[in-house]
Amino acid sequence: MKAVLGEAASPASDLNRALSLCAGGDRSALRVVYDSEAPRMLGVAMRLLRRRALAEEAVHDTFLQIWRKADSFDPMKGDARSWLYAILRNRALNILRGENRTDLVEDFEPMGLASEEEDAETVMLRLSDTGRLKGCLERLEPSRRQAITLAYIHGLSHGELAGRLGVPLGTIKSWIRRALISLRECMA
């Protein structure tokens, strides 16, 4: 009875099991991971890359890497979901930093750019009240909160943050550092 409950209960253990089946060569297990995570992954990738085609490319590459690296995932060392999203963010940031830089203007006109961007406050309101991040972000000064949120969700670099928020590069760096120290203390 207990075992049955345990199996049905946690999505995290489902992911762990799916990844270990992937490591054994079971493709249907990869599909399980895809069905459960790909829609959210596409949303995360869209925030970083803004273009559907690029976001899909990032998710595509991520699933091939999950398949290849599944046997290196160790549930003792970390959470399956955070392992999956680390691969996704890595891939998306590489696309963003490398390839998107060379975009020509006619390519990105239909993207709408800044207008479609979510600002930091909207994102904060959407954070769960049961998590710790929201309360800890609320304790930051708004400008610092904005800088660190935009860095994470839109993948803005120090230089892009400085341009966007209209402050010198050194100020951005110190805002981020202070925000990190405060978040670490608050979330410990």
Partner 1 sequence: MTRDEQERLAAEHVLGLLEGEERGQAERLLASDATFQAMVEEWRSRFSEWDSTAAVLPPGDALWQRIEAGLAAEPARTMLRPLAPAALSSPSRPFRGLWDSLAFWRAFGLAGALAALLLALGLGFFALKASRQPMLVAVLMNDANQPGAVLRTFADGRVELTPLGDMQIPHNHSIQVWTFPAPAAAPVSVGIVHAARTVFLDLRNLPRPHADQLFAISVEPLSGSPTGLPTGPVIMKGTATTAL
- What span, in angstroms and rounded, lies between the C-alpha atoms of 133 and 110? 34
Burial class, 22, CB count within 10 angstroms (exposed 0-12 / middle 13-18 / buried 19+): buried
Residues 40-79, interacting with partner 1 (CB under 8 A): 40, 42-44, 46-47, 56, 59-60, 63-64, 67-68, 77-79
Taking CB under 8 A as the binding criterion, the range among 1-9, 13-21, 121-129, 138-146 that sits at the site for partner 1 is 121-129
Q: Is 155 in the site for partner 1 (CB under 8 A)?
A: yes
* Candidate residues 14, 16, 17, 153; the one interacting with partner 1 per rule CB under 8 A: 153
Residues of the chain by 3-state class (helix, strand, coil), percent to 5 = 80, 0, 20
Taking CB under 8 A as the binding criterion, the range among 6-14, 35-43, 138-146 that sits at the site for partner 1 is 35-43
Of 9 and 27, nearer to partner 1 (C-beta) is 27
DSSP 89-146: HHHHHHIIIIIGGG--HHHHGGG-GGGGPPPHHHHHHHS-TTSSHHHHHHTS-HHHHH
* Candidate residues 6, 11, 25, 142; the one interacting with partner 1 per rule CB under 8 A: 25
Q: Is 24 in the site for partner 1 (CB under 8 A)?
A: yes
Handedness of CA 75, 78, 82, 87 (dihedral sign): negative
* Candidate residues 16, 20, 158, 174; the one interacting with partner 1 per rule CB under 8 A: 158
Q: Is 29 in the site for partner 1 (CB under 8 A)?
A: no
Total interface residues for partner 1 by CB under 8 A: 72
Q: Is 87 in the site for partner 1 (CB under 8 A)?
A: no
Of 2 and 126, nearer to partner 1 (C-beta) is 126
Q: Which of 58, 121, 137 is nearest to 90 (CA)?
A: 58
Taking CB under 8 A as the binding criterion, the range among 2-10, 13-21, 138-146, 172-180 that sits at the site for partner 1 is 172-180
Q: Is 32 in the site for partner 1 (CB under 8 A)?
A: no
**Residues 51, 108: contact at Cβ < 8 Å?**
yes
Of 24 and 142, nearer to partner 1 (C-beta) is 24
Count helices and strands (H / E) in the chain: 11, 0
